[in-house]
Amino acid sequence: MKPLPLALALSGLVLVAPAHAGPRESARGPAPKASLCPPGFAALQNSTTCVRISGRVRADALVASNRIRALDAVGTQTSGRVQLDVRTQTEYGPLRAVIRAEGVRR
């Protein structure tokens, strides 16, 4: 079996399968009941600052076929993004900082 169809099949399974995060258990005991952070954010220890790290990954495969087999073409493209979102409450109101890094490879 050629490695390209196998790679395409495996990448299709990865893209189709849903990603679910399971419940997180802490070794320090139960989390505090009243959190000042919005959903999806985690509080930094001993502060009112909330942090969220998020991102995504995308992979594409393009196949083109001509009547002449020697001219068949296969192309791939991947892209990804990582984002850090920090929020804290100040005496002047909420302060938010966002850092995002993106990349594309063809």
Q: Report pLDDT for 79.
A: 94
Report the b/e string of 68-78 with b at 16+ CB within 10 A: eeeeeeeeeee
- 14 in a domain, yes or no? no
Q: Report pLDDT for 104.
A: 86
* Count of structural domains within the chain: 1
- 29 in a domain, yes or no? no
Cβ atoms of 55 and 81 within 8 Å: the answer is yes
Task: From 85, 84, 65, 61, select the one nearest 73 (Cα to Cα).
Answer: 65
Domain range for 47: 35-106
40: left (phi over 0), alpha (psi -120 to 50) or beta: left
CA-CA distance, 28 to 40, in Å (whole number)? 20
- 18 in a domain, yes or no? no
- 1 in a domain, yes or no? no
Q: Report pLDDT for 7.
A: 53
Both tokens assigned to 77: 């493209």
- 55 in a domain, yes or no? yes
The per-residue pLDDT string of the chain (106 residues; one tens digit each, 9 = 90 and over) reads: 455 555 555 555 444 445 455 555 555 655 555 667 889 999 998 888 999 999 999 999 888 877 776 777 888 899 999 999 999 989 998 899 999 999 988 7
- 7 in a domain, yes or no? no
